[in-house]
Amino acid sequence: MDIHGKDIRVFCGNSTREVSRQIAQGLGLSLGNAIVSRFSDGEISVSINESVRGSDVFVIQSTCYPVNDNLMELLIMIDAFHRASAARITAVMPYFGYARQDRKAKSRDPISAKLVANLITAAKTDRLLTMDLHASQIQGFFDIPVDNLLGVPVLLPYFLEKFKNRKENLAIVSPDIGSVKRARKFASALNAPLAIIDKRRQRANESEVMNIIGDVRGRSCVIVDDLVDTAGTLVHAAEAIVDKGGAKEVYACATHAVLSGRAVEKIKNSPIKEMVFLDSVPLPEEKNISKFTVLPIAPVFAEAIERIYDNQPISILFN
């Protein structure tokens, strides 16, 4: 593909190879020839086996588990492309790790999301393309352009089709105050009422459901969130709207399937009938239970990359 004088090259690290292949395929390209391996002491080795001089390079890498290894792979690849005279380097991070550490929750806390932003910028990245940052203000941590795609336009068509004949008994649920804006878009598109779970977090990775704001009695409910990590918040919300709210059935969706610890077991044993994710984080076979449905992000990322390359607006992708 050569639209305006520079060629486009798409490379990837080890975290999202299959998604990267699908994105490249959507652009009519093959993945660039790069090998990311380890030296005997664990240091990361990157070999770029083709010229990128003057090229518009897109490096695809989610910083999911193992987070630090994947982040270092990304930084070292960016440095390699910079030293190989790439004209522009865009870091494509479907999932941005450390995004939950976006502020000081108590004295002497780090703001790790800002540190990661500094590292990515210092590596000579020209632009960042990501999806559903846990805290949208992280865009302001960067001194380079940041495009934060939304998972809602990918997830919505699935639920529009699923509930097309029974929207009148549907309710959309936000599992906490932070997800209200995302859930409200869902509710508006489905013409369904919105309910909010008011929770109080006692300590990290633990939450306690306190109250349900809104009426879910007798309704099919869809819980909408940006990510599922330990699944504590999600499962507590599902149990609350069934046991306390009297919901008829519960579905859930989230962009990022982080799924650490006993998350899969918790969801499997919960009232949730179906859990829908996007494939921004690879879902290993051993974690892919029958309740899970995984939708592809490749089409929206391929279009975003093509628009960035051709200097076209990507605002159409937010609708």
The catalytic residue positions are: 199
| Count of CB atoms situated within 10 Å of the CB of 210 | 10
| Count of CB atoms situated within 10 Å of the CB of 148 | 15
249-257 vs 220-228, strand pairing mode: parallel
CA-closest candidate to residue 19, choices 219, 315, 280: 280
Task: Judge whether 193 and 215 are in contact, CB under 8 Å.
Answer: yes
SS3 sequence of the chain: CECCCCEEEEEECCCCHHHHHHHHHHCCCCCCCEEEEECCCCCEEEEECCCCCCCEEEEECCCCCCHHHHHHHHHHHHHHHHHCCCCEEEEEECCCCCCCCCCCCCCCCCCHHHHHHHHHHHCCCCEEEEECCCCHHHHHHCCCCEEEECCHHHHHHHHHHHCCCCHHHEEEEECCHHHHHHHHHHHHHHCCCEEEEEEEEEECCEEEEEEEECCCCCCEEEEEEEEECCCHHHHHHHHHHHHCCCCCEEEEEEEEECCCCCHHHHHHCCCEEEEEEECCCCCCHHHCCCCEEEECCHHHHHHHHHHHHCCCCCHHHHC
